Chain A
Amino acid sequence: MEIPFLNMLWFILLGVLLAGYAILDGFDLGVGILHLGAKTDRERRIFMNSIGPLWDGNEVWLVTFGGALFAAFHDAYATAFSGFYLTFWLLLAALIGRAVSMEFRSKLDTPGWRKLFDYGFFSASTLATLLFGVAVGSTMSGLKIGDDMEYHGTFFDLLGVFPAITGVFAVAMFAMHGSIYLYLKTEGDLQKRVHGWMWRTFGFFLAMFVITTVYALVSVPAATDNFRDYPWCWVVVILNVLAIANIPRAIYLNRPAYAFISSCCSIAAFVFLFGVALYPNLLVSSIDPAYNLNIVNAASSRGTLLIMAIIAAVGMPFVLTYTGIIYWTFRGKVEIGKFSY
């Protein structure tokens, strides 16, 4: 199959958007997963305010990923979103639940009200992460896509052992990522406690990493096929292992910023490996490989891909600039003030 440059470019750009989303929203989802570990009201406010100014912008990466998938590979968007119907509506419910919990929690100072939104924040964050992981796992295992490009399975066909494993893996990964982020943003006794969480979530993550890898090697053939054709991809695997190994090292040496960068790199590497596992497909049919949706047969026209590339080239430097400005403005430890949640 001949793959035109623009189709390849958009496959890569989608990967970049997905990696950007996973890294950025990953830590704020992780903070949500760990939220109930904060005991007092003040600690919980610190947790929420550590991501308060940032989570909304982080979520825009997902919205833009969705828009870009729609624009560049609209058949994949149509098949995946209608195929994952209930999964995605549950995901939407979780994303709304998160936004609302953060926005409303601080508005009333009664324990019942705050507890409600504490649990809402925790469960919505955990559910959203789990569903992302399930979606990735189902996509890698293949979907019942027919000769009409439509999904022919049911909601329950999407659930399997591998999607369940990747779902839990995602929760472990974001919990670890979030705990390192929280370590960077907290001080004093709370920070000491968070230090212990970094170790525990790393252990959880490492265990899930091994389980996911072994299961993928044994029973998801698509996960490794491309490594035969593109042996240079092993470099990313090795770099990923190094990044993961660097996380405990950096925690041990008390250099949390390095640990955080390592965990960012590791997440990026996982998104890359997900891309390699799929390439050149976007959605794999478990019925017949001829029904796969790939980056050529599911793509928009050359004209649209080109226009979109220009829009991305014009827009993304701005996006990166003000993302940088915002992160710089809100750098440093969390301070609870009159404008905080």
Chain B
Amino acid sequence: MESSDTAILLSRLQFAFTIGFHYLFPPLTIGLGLLMVIMEGLYLKTRDFQYEAMAKFWTKIFALIFAIGVASGIVMEFQFGTNWASYSRYVGDIFGAALAAEGIFAFFLESGFLAVLVFGWDRVSPRMHFFSTLMVSLGSIFSAVWIIVANSWQQTPAGFKIVEQMLPSGASIPVAELTDFWVAVFNHSTLHRLSHTLVGAMIAGSFLVISVSAFYLLKKRHEDFAKRNIRIALPFAMVFCLLALVTGDVQGKNVAEHQPAKLAAMEGQFETARNAPLHVFGIPNVAEERVDFGLAMPGMLSMLVGWNTDTEIIGLSEFPETDRPPVHLTFQAFHAMVGLGMFMIALTVVGTILLYRDKLFTQRWLLRIFVVAIIAPMAANQLGWIVAEVGRQPWIVYPQYVDGDWANPIGGLRTADGHSHSVSAVEIAISMAMTGFIYLLLLITWLFVLDRKIKAGPESPEDLARAAAERGGGWFATATQRADHSGASMTDARDGDGRREN
């Protein structure tokens, strides 16, 4: 039974939708995780209760984001098998290994220590709690490492050979077989994509902290808390925004070398040319093979790829039409991502300069921008992945090209050939409707709860100091005490400004 075009289209939409939804959350937890390590480290060092308030507040937010990230992440792991069974047979030898490694090295670490992070404030020593925060942050980074290894192998496969697997029917199917583990892990694009992805995650996490803090400053609530947050998160964000430029540049050169069709689609480069232009914006016209309404900087694409305007850029016309990626989406997603990146650089540089001149906190217009600016890294992370994944179509596993023979790809697996044979369009429609409904409710509820949590705000450092004094210092003693049973929940019990009368 061959998969129908409808089934394949639905599975592609379902994958795009579920991965897009999932990827709203991991970048935030990766970025926030590292910031929490910094905050809690500062608390241990200075014993300033404001830092404790910060660590506790962001842990609550982190837990809320993490829960949805985990729930939507299991869907991804199942989906390779449910919808892309032929793909799973083809890559299982390599891709499966990376997924299993992610489970063993990353997920256990994250989920285990997250328990201590969220529920353990009263049960473990401050040092142990800090260690747990560190482990959760490390776990989230390990997770990124292994999933990027898996994805990069699809983009630039290495360390494998194609063998024919016999089926009981006597027919045979080609499958990839691992020949060198480390070559497969450190394939041509792993480090490039990993660095750019992690940088994007750090930006998302820090912009969340800045956004919430700017909101408090505008509302004149928790001002000391908000200022401390911004003093940490804003320079952090600026550094990573600038690093995004660097890692993006390195990744761009890598794409030019290993996936020239993707680069050509990103820039709407139809003919192979030297002195190729870089577009600021434009609308690619596939039928006429040109970019309309564009503003282009002559020679800049060649310049960026090879540090020389004479560098040759491979055009889409070198590839058979069936081997070309969709140009519109790749082009626009790429340019929107770059535009957002430039905006974030400008914003964080201006913000940081004002911060060090002690003028930032009175610039209400800028704080207003910061409140909504969290949308920028969230969108940029999504757009970057759209470029990466749409730009490699029609391949689910990229083929090899030898000596610039772009018309004759070797190996590789087309996305359409990766689909599950035994699944019908009706079944996929059912799973899509179900998942779409659940995710929509989930997103609404999540935003509602997040909004309440942010409006409730952190505990006041005075309360924390008083609590510590009552216990005779530190969190150490509390593990032996009975916790008070009056609180409504883990997060609501002491929420509020903490300005209650004694």
Taking Cβ atoms with an 8 Å cutoff, the residues of A that contact B are: 42, 45, 52-54, 56-57, 59-60, 62-64, 66-72, 74-75, 77-86, 88-90, 92-93, 95-97, 99-100, 103-104, 106-109, 146-152, 155, 288, 290-291, 297, 300-301, 303-304, 307-308, 311-312, 315-316, 318-319, 322-323, 325-326, 329-330, 335-341
**Contact A326–B116 (Cβ < 8 Å):** yes
User: Would you give the shortest CB distance from A131 to chain B, in whole angstroms?
Assistant: 12
**Contact A109–B100 (Cβ < 8 Å):** no
5 tightest A-B contacts by CB?
A74-B92, A81-B81, A337-B483, A106-B489, A53-B115
Measured CA separation A315–B104 after assembly (Å):
6
User: In the assembled complex, which residues on chain A have CB atoms less than 8 Å from the CB atom of B70?
Assistant: 56, 59, 99
**Contact B78–A81 (Cβ < 8 Å):** yes
- Per a CB cutoff under 8 Å, which of A60, A77, A97, A335 touches B108? A60
**From A58, which residue of chain B is reached at the shortest CB distance?**
B111
Measured CA separation A146–B135 after assembly (Å):
46
**In residues 224-266 of chain B, which contact A (Cβ within 8 Å)?**
none
- With A60-B108, A70-B77, A322-B135 known, 4 other A-B pairs at CB within 8 A are A70-B81, A74-B96, A107-B489, A108-B449
**Contact B112–A323 (Cβ < 8 Å):** yes
- Per a CB cutoff under 8 Å, which of B80, B105, B108, B119 touches A53? B119
Q: Given that A53-B118, A148-B167 are contacting pairs, would A325 and B112 also be in contact in the complex, using a CB cutoff of 8 Å?
A: yes
**From B77, which residue of chain A is reached at the shortest CB distance?**
A66
User: In the assembled complex, which residues on chain A have CB atoms less than 8 Å from the CB atom of B83?
Assistant: 82
**Contact B119–A330 (Cβ < 8 Å):** yes
B101 part of interface (Cβ distance < 8 Å): yes
User: Would you give the shortest CB distance from B304 to chain A, in whole angstroms?
Assistant: 38
Q: Given that A85-B420, A148-B167, A152-B422 are contacting pairs, would A100 and B442 also be in contact in the complex, using a CB cutoff of 8 Å?
A: yes
**Contact B100–A64 (Cβ < 8 Å):** yes
Tell which of A57, A311, A338 has the most Cβ of chain B within 10 Å: A338
**Contact A57–B445 (Cβ < 8 Å):** no
Task: Please name 8 pairs of A and B residues whose Cβ atoms are closer than 8 Å in the assembled complex, sorted by A.
Answer: A71-B97, A72-B100, A78-B85, A81-B80, A96-B75, A103-B63, A303-B179, A340-B490
User: Would you give the shortest CB distance from A125 to chain B, in whole angstroms?
Assistant: 14
B363 part of interface (Cβ distance < 8 Å): no
Tell which of A71, A97, A312 has the most Cβ of chain B within 10 Å: A71
Taking Cβ atoms with an 8 Å cutoff, the residues of B that contact A are: 1, 63-64, 67-68, 70-75, 77-78, 80-83, 85-86, 88-89, 91-97, 99-105, 107-109, 111-116, 118-124, 135, 167-171, 177-179, 181, 420-423, 427, 430-431, 434-435, 438, 442, 445, 449, 452-453, 482-485, 487-494
Measured CA separation A301–B177 after assembly (Å):
7
User: In the assembled complex, which residues on chain B have CB atoms less than 8 Å from the CB atom of A68?
Assistant: 100, 103
Measured CA separation A133–B81 after assembly (Å):
20
- Per a CB cutoff under 8 Å, which of B80, B113, B485 touches A70? B80
Measured CA separation A93–B119 after assembly (Å):
26
- Chief secondary structure at chain B's binding surface: helix
Measured CA separation A28–B63 after assembly (Å):
19
User: Would you give the shortest CB distance from A251 to chain B, in whole angstroms?
Assistant: 28
Measured CA separation A337–B484 after assembly (Å):
6
Measured CA separation A146–B88 after assembly (Å):
18
Measured CA separation A83–B86 after assembly (Å):
12
**From A53, which residue of chain B is reached at the shortest CB distance?**
B115
Measured CA separation A152–B85 after assembly (Å):
14
User: Would you give the shortest CB distance from B124 to chain A, in whole angstroms?
Assistant: 6
Measured CA separation A249–B112 after assembly (Å):
33
User: Would you give the shortest CB distance from B108 to chain A, in whole angstroms?
Assistant: 4
**Contact A315–B105 (Cβ < 8 Å):** yes
User: In the assembled complex, which residues on chain B have CB atoms less than 8 Å from the CB atom of A322?
Assistant: 108-109, 112-113, 135
**Contact A104–B445 (Cβ < 8 Å):** yes
Measured CA separation A54–B112 after assembly (Å):
8
Measured CA separation A160–B403 after assembly (Å):
57
**Contact B80–A150 (Cβ < 8 Å):** no
User: Would you give the shortest CB distance from B263 to chain A, in whole angstroms?
Assistant: 31
Measured CA separation A78–B175 after assembly (Å):
13
**Contact A300–B96 (Cβ < 8 Å):** yes
User: Would you give the shortest CB distance from B185 to chain A, in whole angstroms?
Assistant: 10
Q: Given that A70-B99, A85-B427, A104-B445 are contacting pairs, would A339 and B121 also be in contact in the complex, using a CB cutoff of 8 Å?
A: yes
**Contact B115–A300 (Cβ < 8 Å):** no
Q: Given that A64-B100, A99-B70 are contacting pairs, would A70 and B92 also be in contact in the complex, using a CB cutoff of 8 Å?
A: yes
Tell which of A68, A85, A326 has the most Cβ of chain B within 10 Å: A85
**From A77, which residue of chain B is reached at the shortest CB distance?**
B81
Measured CA separation A89–B76 after assembly (Å):
11
Measured CA separation A106–B108 after assembly (Å):
25
